[in-house]
Structure formats: C-alpha cells, structure tokens
C-alpha cells in the first residue's frame, strides 16, 4: 500500500482542505472588497441578466436555507396514522390459556 487512497464517499477531504486554506489566504490578503467591486455588474444589461439568473436559481430551489435567516424550522410533529378498527376481528383476541379449552 504505497499510495494514500482518496476518500470520495462523503466528500473529498483533501480537496476540501485545499479549498478552505485557499479561501483563508484570500480573505487574509485583503482583496475581498476589490473582488466584490470587480464582480459587480458593469452595465444595466449585466445587472438585469444577473437578477434574472438569481430569480431563476431561486425558482428552482426548494426552500430558503433557514441558517441564512438565523433560525431553524420547527421539527415536524408526527401525525397519527388513520387506522380504522376492523369490523370482522375482535378488538382483543381471545386465545385459550394453557390448560383451558374454549
């Protein structure tokens, strides 16, 4: 076993580590504000196109992430199944006890 195996079942840990480290370096570099200004739409047409893309992305999303709003949804309350009593079987089965004849 000379080579280290990549773990990809639940995610690629090495790639995640590299991404996170690169992100930390970028934040520490102080270039975040400039990058945000560079990414801003240059024209009104760009702004409309970006807004349309955002709307389309939101339309396809299931729900807004509650973590973004700072609150988590309440856990669903389990409902009782709609089980109707049988009309052909007794409610409590009556089996003879050992030594009894029915």
Domain ranges within the chain, ordered by starting residue: 13-61
What is this structure's pTM?
0.43
pLDDT in tens, 11-52: 788 899 999 999 999 999 999 999 999 999 999 999 999 999
Give the CB-side neighbour count of residue 4, counting CA atoms within 13 A: 5
Res. 89: pLDDT tops 70: no
CA distance 35 to 29: 11
Q: How many CB atoms lie within 10 A of CB 12?
A: 13
CA distance 69 to 65: 7
């Amino acid at each position: 076993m000379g080579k280290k195996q990549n773990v990809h079942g639940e995610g690629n840990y090495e790639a995640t580590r590299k991404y996170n480290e690169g992100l930390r370096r970028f934040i520490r570099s102080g270039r975040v504000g400039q990058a945000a200004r560079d990414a801003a739409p240059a024209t009104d047409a760009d702004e409309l196109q970006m807004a349309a893309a955002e709307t389309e992305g939101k339309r396809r999303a299931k729900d807004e992430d509650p973590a973004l709003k700072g609150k988590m949804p309440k856990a669903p309350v389990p409902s009782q199944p709609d089980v109707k009593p049988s009309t052909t079987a007794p409610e409590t089965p009556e089996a003879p006890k050992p030594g009894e004849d029915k």
